[in-house]
Amino acid sequence: MSRERTFHFGRFLAAFAAILGFALAAPCGARAGNNLLLNGDLSKGSGPQPDNWRTEAWINDPKAWRSDWTHPPDGGAGELEVDNLEADDARWMESLSLSAGWYYLSAEIRTENVGGNETGATISIMEDGAMSPDIRGTAGWQTVGFYLKVGAAGADVDVALRVGGFGSLNTGRAFFRNAKMVKIEGPPAGATPSYDLAALRNESQPSPVGSPITLVAAFAVLGAVAFYGWRMFGRQTPVQPAKAARKPK
């Protein structure tokens, strides 16, 4: 092989190794599939309403909060806004049905005067505590996200672009863009935040009244009462009906 061919072949191998190394080093989310959020780039809609998104708030009063959707007239990517004028938990939301597996949710967020003592601006799902790191104060655009595991039965979830949280009402203004949910093979080792949806839902279920020992004792007492009743009444000889008097012939 000539020196020139050897040189070009060596460059090819080096480039191939670099591409392969980048692919292997990239986090699972980077090798994930398509965005499962419908209209995640916020480019489609009409009037003040982006397609597939809706608004909700804990204090659903125009004096407490307001929302907005801005987008270029040519249909390019848009932004959603949540402005909590009073302490509130307000959000833009989209509902999804998910199959079993791991997911990564992310969004770009910037904030203006979001309170520093309560939950700030996040992307989350409407389950206790399942959210990205929150952004407070005044901050430029940054990407935040979290990992979510869905159990074998699948699940319906509500994804929220949000200011404030459950029991943690906050004030301030936040802008959201490029919201994504992608299915992945699994989170990188030690990646946080990471949530198991089935575990979260099991923890939120009410516990049975009484301890297991109390329940066993109650069943034992009921069994004893039933057995005693059977011994007292169930084994008595039944009373024979009186024979009818025979008529004389």
Q: Render 101-126 in DSSP notation, one character per residue.
A: EEEEEEEEEEEEEE-SSS--EEEEES
Confidence (pLDDT) at 28: 45
Confidence (pLDDT) at 21: 42
Confidence (pLDDT) at 75: 75
Confidence (pLDDT) at 129: 87
| Domain boundary assignment for the chain | 33-204
3-state secondary structure of 194: strand
- For 19, residues 6+ apart whose C-beta sits below 8 A from its C-beta are none
Confidence (pLDDT) at 215: 47
Please state whether the predicted TM-score (pTM) of the whole model is above 0.85: no
Confidence (pLDDT) at 233: 55
Cα distances (Å, whole numbers) of residue 25 to 12, 172, 185, 193:
20, 38, 14, 20
* Under-50 pLDDT residues of the chain: 3-4, 6-10, 12-30, 215
Question: The tokens of 55 are what?
Answer: 């608004």
Q: What is the pLDDT of residues 38-64, one digit of tens each?
A: 999 999 998 889 999 999 999 999 999
Q: Which residue has the tokens 């959603």?
A: 80
Confidence (pLDDT) at 13: 43
Confidence (pLDDT) at 47: 86
Confidence (pLDDT) at 48: 87
CATH 2.170.8.10 fits 33-204, yes or no: no
